[in-house]
Amino acid sequence: MSGETHLYLSLNELRALMRRTYEALYHHGYDFAVMARSCLWLEAHGLDGIGLIIRSLPDLETPAREIKLSEPTPNHFLLEGYGRCLIPFINASTDLAIAGAQESGFGQIDILNVFGRLNVFAALKKTARLNLYSAAIWYDATEARTHILWLQSSQNLPDYFILNEVHQGPWGKSGLRFLCSTEAEVVKENVRRVLPENTSPHKTAMELEKAYAHALENGISVSKNTYAQLNKIADRLLVPSTDASRRGAGE
């Protein structure tokens, strides 16, 4: 059992909590079930999904999100995120690239001016299930580091690389490129433009898988403060109990 400052949540508990949190934030305006699963997957694979949410909360709490979509080519989409958190629209955005890959063998999105880019992780998992190959590349200007998630084979998890180098590319200082293809070589060619040969991953697919197995077995340690913070948001969904509402439970 955990100490006083932390508690262990099962994967289901975390997913349920995140579903309610996103539902409380956006009602049914976004696909809250997938958003919750994305957070769960990050956390369960040892990639601090909860921390990402907590750091993003000031933005997530701010409604009125706008995204501008343009389409330079039929399978290349350009999105302007206006400095907002990627979480609410990452899944619908990567759908565009996935559709491109399924239709013509290759699809790509470049999202500009966003943060919380590690949330793209779930999209790579999805492409694996669809027998696609994929990668996500972004440059973090505050750390001056380049991040690459690369799904290299039929394995169901990507390798995660972090380079201490500047690779701004067309996605700029705070953007993200996500690409996927039916051909492994096509993705590899794109990734190799940024990632030198023989670079060791920051986390290998196997390490991510081990982290997940550990979380599945033992649950996820979450600070009680964080747990309370998320529950405070999720609890906005709860409706006060009255005599009338008790009748609504069958009394």
Partner 1 sequence: MVMLAPHIADDALDYRPASVVMDINRLGTLYPYPLSFMRSLVRRILREKWDIQRTHLSLCDEGYGEVIYSVKTPNGIFSYVIFSKYLDPNIRSDRVIAEDWDMTVTLCEGEVDSGRLDVLRANVPLQEKGRVDSSCFVLSRANKSARNFNYVVDSLSSGQQPDLDVMAKVGYLYRTTAVYGSGKFGMAVWDKVKSKYPDFASPFAAEMFSCFLIRDFSLFQADYVAKKRAPDTAVEMAPPIKRYVGIGNATGLGMAPYLINHPLLINNWIEVRETALARVKRSGPISDDKRGDFLCLAEKAMQHLDEISTDNADQNALNLKAKTDMAALVKWFQGAQVSAWSELTEHAELHFSVEAQELLNVLLLELYPDLFTDLEESLSLEEVYSLEASMSVRDLKRLVETHYDWALGIDYTDPKTQGIFWYRSEEKMEPRLGQRFEEPGAANEMLLGIGWYVCESYRDLCEYIEKQGDELTTARFVFENPQHRYIVRRMQTMAKTRYGEIRINAIDLDVLPIHLLRCKLSFFGVGKFDPRSRMWVRNTMFQGAPLISDIGQTVEDTWCFPIRPEVNG
Which residues sit at the interface with partner 1, rule CB under 8 A?
1, 7-13, 23, 27-34, 69, 88-89, 91-93, 95-96, 98-99, 102-103, 126, 129-130, 216-219, 235-241, 244-246, 248-251
Given the complex with partner 1, which of 116 and 219 has the nearer CB atom? 219
State the nearest-atom distance from the C-beta of 165 to partner 1, in Å: 32
State the nearest-atom distance from the C-beta of 208 to partner 1, in Å: 16
* 116 torsion bin: left (phi>0), alpha (psi -120 to 50), beta (else): left
Given the complex with partner 1, which of 14 and 194 has the nearer CB atom? 14
**Element holding 223 (H helix, E strand):** strand 220-223
State the nearest-atom distance from the C-beta of 161 to partner 1, in Å: 26
Given the complex with partner 1, which of 28 and 193 has the nearer CB atom? 28
Given the complex with partner 1, which of 98 and 187 has the nearer CB atom? 98
Given the complex with partner 1, which of 42 and 163 has the nearer CB atom? 42
State the nearest-atom distance from the C-beta of 105 to partner 1, in Å: 11
The pairs formed by 163-170 with CB atoms below 8 angstroms and a separation of 24 or more are 163/194, 163/195, 163/199, 166/139, 167/137, 167/139, 167/194, 168/139, 169/137, 169/139, 169/194, 170/110
Q: Residue 169 CB: number of other CB atoms within 10 A?
A: 16
State the nearest-atom distance from the C-beta of 12 to partner 1, in Å: 3
Given the complex with partner 1, which of 78 and 195 has the nearer CB atom? 78
Give the separation between CA 83 and CA 73, rounded to whole angstroms.
Answer: 24
- N- to C-terminal Cα separation, the chain: 37
Give the separation between CA 179 and CA 176, rounded to whole angstroms.
Answer: 10
State the nearest-atom distance from the C-beta of 47 to partner 1, in Å: 19
Per DSSP, what are the bridge partners of residue 237? none
Give the separation between CA 124 and CA 82, rounded to whole angstroms.
Answer: 24
